[in-house]
Structure 1
Amino acid sequence: MEIDKRSQQPLYAQLMKEIKELIQKGEYEAGDQIPTEIELSEKYQVSRITVRRTIEELCTQGILVKRQGKGTFVEAPKIYRKVEKDNNMSFSESCRANGRKPASHVIACNFVEAEERQNEFLKLTDDKRLYHIERVLSADDLPIIYEQIYIPAIRVPDLQVEKLENGSLFQLLAEDYQVTEFAKGRSTIEVRTASKPIADYLKMNVGEPVMILKSYMNDEEEKPLYISYEIIVGSRYRISI
């Protein structure tokens, strides 16, 4: 396609339409790097200012994403997940519902003593040890969430954390501990920017926006079960609370 410089439609808007159509046709797929500003400028015979505005607009729309020092890439479609009180979806379920392949990688697992703010919810008395599990959740090999889970050792004796490597926490609890229903106690969500360690885990730029979802989960009897902190790449995820 040639950019029509006589058209009343702005040049950047024409170029946006062209790039969107190429993505829809599959010429640029999710994760693909698009040509550089110079290459696009030369190919379509427009200024680099026009190209830069086009890319910025497409990044704002979540269609492209800039990765510092690497270039501009086609962003994968957002995963939609429900974490509503009466309709809570696991990450694995939400991936499959969106036609994506879930995966998880356990970074670390160790014992910690419950802090006062954690024990306010968990209501532990004698054994206040918690399993602290850190992992990264991915969809089609693209990191989406850095997660920390705090679950009382007394609720999951002899936890086989290796089952969480490419596995589901919901499934592990159901199969090993017969916890088959979950009721969300409460959740909070806020927006921050990615620190260097988080950006490295999630393959994003330092300073990009992330959502922080804190969930306080109960079992089917409304007893406190665990607390999770999910740091989510905002451009790759959509949540219904």
Structure 2
Amino acid sequence: MNANSKSMQVKQQLMELIDQGVYRVGEQLPSEIQMSKQFQVSRETFRGALKMLEEEGRILVKHGVGTFVIRPLPPIKSTLERLYSSGEMIRSANLTESESMISLTKSPCPEEAAERLGIAAGDAVYILKRIRKANDEPVMLSVNYLPAARFGEGFEQHTFSGSLLKFVEDTLGVTINRADTEIAVPLHIDRNCQQLLQHPHTTVLLLKQLHYDEGNQPVFYSQDYMRNDVFTFHLRRTR
């Protein structure tokens, strides 16, 4: 087990102790030396666990004073910090997903997608377009660009269904670890945007997302159009 895995294990054990009330909100934790001995890990490993808890807002580290358990902030619905699948995002909006319409073509890569993926414009990509419905109305439209050089004949040998992230990982053997996301407002003349304009009050957000594998290599680029009257996104800003 590597150091990160050990730190994660200690973090989870410490979380259980906090949830059980062994260490209460406002209470100072024992010293690093005592705690690392208690968990039978190195001080470095224990510091890694504390760092994770600090980033999650579960503890407050006052240098030169000590480490204190604090009350966690309420969760934020649809935070952009976590990489959700489209289906998860629909369910998080308390909607029941109905049918979806899918098209898959092998085409020359357009310039914007090629630039994001680090390939030449015109290189072959699989273009997966999907309209997701909930309550019998379209709520999300995704256009995904997947380089043919990366996936070979994977999309021709296997029938795509369900979550794209899960399909890429379980069927094609590529693990997605993270994504860079740009939030944009599409023009009303954008044809993809127009397919979601169901009501006079409907507005649309566009998430442009570049997904990376474990080695930080670009895997696929997506343009996710989402109805803003259905989906809301939040960020917790700190200083």
> TM > 0.5 between the two?
yes
Residues 138/92 of structure 1: CA separation in 2 closer, same or farther (3 Å cut):
same
One-letter identity of the residue aligned with 1:129: A
- Choose which of 216, 228, 233 in structure 1 pairs with 2:222: 228
Correspondent of 2:173 among 163, 175, 178: 178
Contact kept in structure 2, 1:138 and 1:144, CA below 8 Å: yes
CA distance in 2: counterparts of 1:201 and 1:236, whole angstroms: 15
Are the equivalent residues in 2 in contact too, given 1:104–1:135 (CA < 8 A)?
Answer: no
2:216 alignment partner, SS class: coil
Give how far 1:189 is off: 1.2
Aligned to 2:213: 219
2:204 and 2:226 in contact (8 A); partners too: yes
Hey, what's the Cα distance between the residues in 2 that align with 1:95 and 1:117? 27
C-alpha separation in 2, matches of 1:99 and 1:155: 35
Equivalent in the alignment of 2:88 = 93
Distance 1:196 1:204, change over 3 A: farther
CA drift of 1:194 comes to 4.1
TM-score by length of 2: 0.55
Structure possessing the higher relative contact order (Cα contacts under 8 Å, 6 or more residues apart)? 1
- Residue 145 of structure 2 is matched in structure 1 by 150
Work out the CA distance in 2 between the residues paired with 1:97 and 1:182: 21
Contact 1:195-1:207 at 8 Å conserved across structures = no
Percent identity reads 21
Amino acid at match of 1:152: P
Taking the TM superposition and a 5 Å limit, the aligned residue runs for 1:1-241 are 80-84=77-81, 87-103=82-98, 105-124=100-119, 128-158=123-153, 159-160=155-156, 162-164=159-161, 167-184=162-179, 186-192=180-186, 194-195=188-189, 197-198=191-192, 201-202=195-196, 204-205=198-199, 208-240=202-234
- For the aligned residue pairs, the C-alpha RMSD in angstroms reads 3.0
Question: Structure 1: how far apart are the matches of 2:193 and 2:178?
Answer: 31
How far the C-alpha of 1:109 sits from its partner, in A, is 1.8
How far residue 94 of structure 1 moved from its aligned partner, in angstroms, is 2.6
Measure how far apart 1:148 and its partner are: 0.8
User: Whole-Å Cα distance in 2 between the matches of residues 196 and 120 of structure 1?
Assistant: 20
The total of aligned residue pairs comes to 157
- Pair 212,155 (structure 1): closer, same or farther in 2 beyond 3 Å: same
CA-CA distance at 1:222 after TM superposition: 0.7
Higher strand proportion (structure 1 or 2): 1
Please give the TM-score of this superposition, normalised by the length of structure 1. Answer: 0.55
Gaps of 5+ in 1: 1-79
CA distance in 2: counterparts of 1:153 and 1:106, whole angstroms: 22
Q: Is the 8 A contact 1:196 1:206 kept in 2?
A: no
Change (3 A) 1:179 1:240: farther
Given that residues 147 and 228 in structure 1 are in contact (C-alpha distance below 8 angstroms), is that contact kept between their aligned partners in structure 2?
A: yes
Aligned residue type for 1:95: I
1:182 aligned partner, one-letter code: N
Q: 1:200 deviation in Å?
A: 6.2
Q: Take 1:195 and 1:206, find their aligned partners in 2: how far apart are those partners?
A: 15
Equivalent-residue separation in structure 2 for 1:195 and 1:120 (angstroms) = 23
